[in-house]
Amino acid sequence: MVYVVRFMTFNKTDFSGFADLILDAVCVVDEAGYFVYLSAACERIFGYRSDELIGTPMIALVFPEDRERTLNAAAEIMSGHPNLHFENRYVRKGGGIVHIMWTARWSEKDRLRIAVARDITEYKRTESVQTALHMISEAAHAAGDLPELIARLRDIVGMLLPFVSFAVAVCDEKNGRPAFPCQRDSACFDLQVLAAGAFCAERHGRPSSAAELAVDGNILMMPLHSERGPVGAMLLATDGAGNYVERDGELLSPLAGRIAEAIECKRQQERLQHTAQYDELTDLPNRRLLHDRLETALIRARRNRDCMALLYLDLDRFKEINDSYGHAAGDVLLREAADRLKHCVRDADTVARIGGDEFIVLLEGLHAREEAARVADKIRAALQRPVSVNDDVLTISPSIGIAFYPEHGEEAQALLHHADAAMYAVKHAARSLGGQSADCPPMASDGR
């Protein structure tokens, strides 16, 4: 792409006659950087008529992130070094980005910069989409979890379209409602409502288009489908300075399927990981995850010289209830016990089921042994409340043994062994008193 123009004297009338026939835009900029001439093609490329731009600074149209290197390139051209393949981005009238490849020379005699602009937006868009598709596939494998994947998708989509708010709504597998795994934008309430509505419409077989959900043209919604069906919806919002157009939706459309597949892949990985680490019946951490958390807690306790406690408990007479009322009733009791245990501790603590009717409670960052005893009392009170199973009302009592770090051991196995022994000591004492383990003094639960 080379156009040779001789400016012996710059006569706009003579020059424009053939310049307007060129499909690329011919632009002339004076020494101060202001437009003095633009051919007719500038309206098709930039959205402005030539008379709207004459006398305005060229740099004002350049995409902000490209302005510095554009000015550097202009200075180099004006020093006598033509540039035949310079690329940058311009902001079209009414919003939207146009990619330009420039061929530019400096006329020392006329003190003018003469350039020809070729619109390469479609080529750059195709190239960007292919790059984005590859990055989405990489993100699906590299992201550690779904929120991290959504954050990566946010950055990838941001390479293609500008936005001030970004949201992805996916179906929560537990309750079927839209959920937002990663939301960092502050002004997102309306965006979330739209995403939820779009997603619900998709789930009920009523496809929703971006036009149906657009608000003043500054919101773009993209339904996300995988081979299994609707996965969710992705929404972008601008600040109102420029509206999205149909071309923007067409740009993102090839990404929708790949994004949906990436989300499904990550959720499947999380499901498999959850199955490996959590008890199927109670959804509490299992023995494997407990061991990992206990080892990590011990590292923190050693580093910070903290006290921590391990509560080992089982449910008295559980086997008798299971045999008398059936395994279904036993499962109800175990799930109810798990739920009550979680409400007895802090979010930072761990409640795990290690098998049968045996549970472990890991308490970190204790300031005194009495804190663990109070938690044990709280657990007893919670578990002793009646449980309705079908037409029966059942009651259970726990036997609890406590081990403290570092008094009863500095390694995980030693603490578990001590807490287990303390629990059986409490159970034996309760049987000696007629089976009422709740009557044992709170501090007796540590087995001493």
Write out the catalytic residue numbers.
357
Q: Helix, strand, coil % (nearest 5) of the chain?
A: 45, 25, 30
Three-state DSSP state, 229? strand
Task: Please give the C-alpha separations between residue 82 and each of 24, 33, 74, 106, 115, in angstroms, as whole numbers.
Answer: 18, 16, 9, 7, 10
Give the dihedral sign, CA 168/169/173/174.
positive
Task: Please give the C-alpha separations between residue 380 and each of 315, 316, 344, 439, in angstroms, as whole numbers.
Answer: 10, 11, 10, 10
Q: DSSP assignment, residue 340?
A: H
CB 441 within 8 A of CB 425: no
Q: Which residue has the tokens 């045996």?
A: 358
Please name the residues in contact with 15: beta carbons below 8 A apart, sequence gap of 6 or more. Answer: 5, 37
Among 8, 30, 6, which Cα is nearest to 18's? 6
Angle at 111 between CA 105 and CA 117, to 5 degrees: 35
Among 3, 14, 69, 68, which Cα is nearest to 37's? 14
Separation CA 401–CA 316 (nearest Å): 13
Q: CB count, 10 Å around CB of 414?
A: 14
Q: How would you class 353 by CB atoms within 10 Å of its CB: exposed for 0-12, middle for 13-18, buried for 19 or more? A: buried
CB 156 within 8 A of CB 254: no
Separation CA 380–CA 399 (nearest Å): 8
CB 308 within 8 A of CB 405: yes
Task: Please give the C-alpha separations between residue 52 and each of 15, 56, 303, 419, 440, in angstroms, as whole numbers.
Answer: 19, 8, 68, 82, 89
Please name the residues in contact with 19: beta carbons below 8 A apart, sequence gap of 6 or more. Answer: 26, 39, 40
